[in-house]
Amino acid sequence: MADKKQLQTVGTPDLTRATPPMGRVAVLKTSAESVVEDLRRVMELAGFQEALPKGPDTLLKINISWQHYYPACSTTPWQLDGVIQAMTGAGYPKESLIPAQNSTVVVDPRVGAKCNKHVPVIEKHGLEFAWLDQPEVEWVIYQPTAKMLCLPEIFPDGIELPRMFLGKNAIHLPTVKTHVFTGTTGAMKNAFGGLLNLNRHWTHGRIHETLVDLLNIQKEIHPGLFAVMDGTICGKGPGPRAMEYEVHDYLLASADQVAIDALAAKLMGFDPMKIDYIRLGHESGLGVGNPSEIEVLGDDISGENWGFTVGDTFASKGQKAIYHGKLHRFEHFLLRTPIVPWSFAASNVYHNWYWFPFKGKKRVNDVLQNTQWGRLFQSY
């Protein structure tokens, strides 16, 4: 990535922005046999063509939370496949669709794209990945028009965004799951992996406000914004990685990033308005977070409450101690100085050398051998 002194500063682009109705979320029950067609149906119910103008290119913002395949952790291959087929079937040119993903300090997205079967889907449709960590990807300093809650304080030298995101539509492709830092994670959190550079872990101490700032920015830089969430296999416990899985066979879609996250949280058994990023998004007028104000299109989910909880791992307890607890006074030293690789190494050892081999792999094998979704995954 270029030196900050070399980065160009840009403001809000002059765009014609789509204005789809807020507070609408489409939900459909699905099966492995019908999921690709059901993805088209749920997107149509949610009004994706109204939300996504056909002139600009469209970013397909993939979610890769782990380089391993792990149930509910990352964008599913059928989710990516179905969205691409729905878009091209509706007349969006294939060459206008750009699957995009950034690296993180603990996850290699290229390995993740292979292990999560994204690569065969992209090759099948003749698309090309945009890897945001590549030297040829230009980053800029973005000056938002909207009032920010925290990002200018965290990044006093400027908020860095990939230039290629400006002026393009964006579709987020999250899964229904919990998260140790945000309670739940979905469309709003998915922007975190594309809009900020490798130092985005600096924001974890103020993650809820960060997600609201990022949604404000997205509404400024994207002419159209949409989300398609996979709830076929869902994750509970200390996500986004060390989770237990449950099969629920649902798909969700919406042009309202706050509302789709709120409805997913409600399905999982949480009160969305007690989750700070959803409440703040609602109070800021960025979408509808109160379930009583959300119009649900499609299947009746009024009786659904999955009773999920979050919890912690050994690793997340240490991270929370740094961000909010007894080690908070050492946060800058531990996470913003040359010794910071210690934390990345600790996470890698815990998750990849201990948790996945001794706990996670059994759950992966169970999904692959005993569920319709495991069999579908292996078919890609």
Q: Residue 85 pLDDT more than 70?
A: yes
- pLDDT of residue 343 exceeding 80, the answer is no
Binning pLDDT at 50, 70 and 90, where does residue 3 land? very low
Residue with tokens 């969006």, as numbered in its chain: 92
Strand partners, 11: none
In the predicted structure, residue 110 carries a pLDDT above the cut 60: yes
Q: For residues 200 and 210, what is the distance between their CA atoms, to the nearest angstrom?
A: 10
Residues forming beta bridges with residue 100, ordered by sequence position: 61, 130
How far apart are the C-alpha atoms of 376 and 362, rounded to whole Å? 18
**What number is the average pLDDT over the span 61-89?**
97
Mean pLDDT over each residue of the chain, to the nearest integer: 92
SS3 string, the chain, reads: CCCHHHCCEECCCCCCCCCCCCCEEEEEECCCCCHHHHHHHHHHHCCHHHHCCCCCCEEEEECCCCCCCCCCCCCCHHHHHHHHHHHHHCCCCHHHEEEEECCCCCCCHHHHHHHCCHHHHHHHCCCCCEECCCCCCCEEEECCCCCCCCHHHHCCCCEEEEHHHCCCEEEEECEEEEECCCEEECHHHHCHHHHCCHHHHHHHHHHHHHHHHHHHHHHHHCCCEEEEEEEEEEEECCCCCCCEEEEEEEEEEECCHHHHHHHHHHHHCCCHHHCHHHHHHHHCCCCCCCHHHCEEEECCCCCCCCCCCCCCCHHHHHHHHHHCCCCHHHHHHHHCCCCCHHHHHHHHHHHHHHHHHHHHHHHHHHHHHHCHHHHHHHHC
Kindly report the pTM of this predicted structure: 0.94
Q: Hey, CA dihedral for 94, 37, 67, 202, is it positive or negative? A: positive
Distance CA(105)–CA(117), nearest Å, equals 22
The ranges assigned to domains in the chain are 20-316
Q: In degrees rounded to 5, what are phi and psi of residue 91?
A: 100, 5
Task: Find where tokens 């059901």 sit.
Answer: 38
Percent of the residues in the chain that have a pLDDT greater than 90, as a whole number: 79
Q: Is the pLDDT of residue 230 over 80?
A: yes
Q: What is the reported pLDDT for 4?
A: 47
List, in sequence order, every residue forming a beta bridge with 230; answer none if it has no partner. 175, 251
Instruction: Say how far apart CA 111 and CA 205 lie, in whole Å.
Output: 28
Q: At 204, is the pLDDT very low, low, confident or very high (cuts 50, 70, 90)?
A: confident
Cβ neighbours of residue 139 under 8 Å, at least 6 residues apart? 1, 2, 7, 160, 161, 162, 163, 197
C-alpha–C-alpha distance, residues 256 and 263, integer Å? 11
At residue 165, the pLDDT reads 97
Q: What's the rounded mean pLDDT across residues 338-366? A: 85
**Residue 336: which residues within 8 A CB-CB, separation 6 or more?**
202
How much is the pLDDT for 106? 72
Examine the pLDDT at 1 and tell me if it is beyond 70: no
| pLDDT tens digits, one per residue of 118-143 | 999 999 999 999 999 888 899 999 99
Q: State the Cα–Cα distance between residues 210 and 149, nearest whole angstrom.
A: 7
Instruction: Give the residue-averaged pLDDT of 367-380.
Output: 98
Q: Determine the pLDDT at residue 202.
A: 82
Distance in angstroms (rounded) separating the CA atoms of residues 90 and 138: 31
* CA separation for the pair 246, 307 (Å, rounded): 11
CATH class of the domain at 20-316: alpha beta
3-state helix/strand/coil string of 102-166: CCCCCCCHHHHHHHCCHHHHHHHCCCCCEECCCCCCCEEEECCCCCCCCHHHHCCCCEEEEHHHC
State the pLDDT at residue 334.
61
- Identify the band that residue 372 occupies on the pLDDT scale cut at 50, 70 and 90: very high
pLDDT of residue 2: 44
pLDDT in tens, 249-277: 999 999 999 999 999 999 999 999 999 99
For the chain, what is the radius of gyration of the CA atoms? 19
Of the pLDDT bands very low, low, confident and very high (cuts 50, 70, 90), residue 226 is very high
